[in-house]
Structure 1
Amino acid sequence: MTDEIKTSAEAMEAAVLPCGALPCAGVSHADPDAAPTAEQQPLPAALSRQPAAEKSEAQWAYERLILYIRNFESQLDATHEVAMGFAGSDAGVLRIEGLGYFDPDLITFYGRDEDGTRMQLVQHVSQLNMVLRAVPHQTQESPARRIGFRLAKDWDEGPHPLQEGADSPA
């Protein structure tokens, strides 16, 4: 027994996170032809370099948010970018330009609102809710940005060797 106090979110995450050597994930869709979601994609090997037990709640949230953003962006056409909507406020949307975390428990979203005004949201991982929205790209002179792929530029080395569907290690 330990004297460490955890929030219910931390306790639940700790209980489900170690699904063997990899984090658990799952999804169900009503449409059998629905586009693959982040839970169905191969986990980048880079996410398994550091043992799950060594990652903070903030780092785990950060890495999984990137997976969701990348997957969402992969389904956008060239005229749309990803933005984040806010629940329960009149703040509108934030065009995501950056994402960060500060251990042990803070996530930060950087971007701009519909008028181009800079915005930053700092949120505790226990309060994390995110709505991804496709918004029209603002300038036709440059291609739509894909922030999810910039955030994880070193993740694309293939699936972790222990992940289902990956080639077995030599």
Structure 2
Amino acid sequence: MTNDEIATAAEAHEADALPAVHEVHADPATGIVAVPEGLKRSAERKSAARWAYERLILYIRNFEQQLDSEHEVAIGFTGGDAGVIRIEGMGYFDPDIVTFYGADGTGAKTQVIQHVTQLNVLLRAMPKHIDQPKANRIGFRLARDLDAEDEAGDATPPPATD
């Protein structure tokens, strides 16, 4: 037997539950390179809603990193007439609901509530409001919230403060 590393059944089970990401793009700078520390905790202790919420944060933050200073992220929902909303907040309700807060193209306050089994989203770059000095970067605030939770070792994330 040439296995240099022996794992217990518990270690192997935990390794299977840890998040991993794999993407291939024409431009290597486009994809998600690594899973942040806040997302590396075992998936077994997370609800489906929390798991979806955390991975969406990763995709939103990565998408924002590719935008210029004149655009910000918006989200569209496939398979319905919800349209596209500028993301101003995001949350989850255990065990299986993810919610998005924002404004639609007319500026009307909007909230979309989805069951994780129905979650199909489209990220889109939208021009920032002309009266805003700089583009809103919600993905970075959401990621900071996860990092703060990871440092506190708390199962409930603190409220966003930006």
Q: Above 0.5 in TM-score?
A: yes
More helix per residue: 2
Residue 42 of structure 1: how far off its partner (Å)? 1.9
Instruction: Go from structure 1 to structure 2 and tell me whether the alpha carbon gap of 1:154 and 1:140 turns closer, same or farther (over 3 Å shift).
Output: same
1:137 Cα deviation after fit: 0.7
Between the two proteins, what is the percent identity of the paired residues? Answer: 57
Distance in structure 1 (CA, Å) of the matches to 2:69 and 2:37: 28
Mapped contact 2:21–2:35 kept (Cα < 8 A)? no
Secondary structure of the 1:112 match is strand
Q: Which residue of 2 aligns with 1:103?
A: 94
| 8 Å Cα contact 2:17/2:44 also seen in 1 | no
CA RMSD of aligned residues (A): 2.1
CA-to-aligned-CA distance 1:84-110 (integer Å, 9 cap, x gap): 112233332100000100000000000
Q: Which moved more, 1:131-140 or 1:104-113?
A: 131-140
Q: Deviations over 1:95-150 (max 9, x none)?
A: 00001000000000000001110000000000100100001111244200000001
Equivalence for 1:27: 23
Note the residue ranges of structure 1 that are not aligned, 5 or more in a row: 1-16, 158-170
Paired AA for residue 36 in structure 2: P
Is the 1:45–1:155 Cα contact (8 Å) retained in structure 2? no
Higher relative contact order (CA 8 A, sep 6+): 1
- Give the TM-score normalised by structure 2: 0.75
Unpaired runs of 5+ in structure 2? 1-12, 149-162
> Of the candidates 30, 55, 61, which is equivalent to residue 64 of structure 1?
55
> 2 CA distance for matches of 1:148 and 1:46?
14
Equivalent pair of 2:99/2:113 in contact (CA under 8 Å): yes
Aligned length: 136
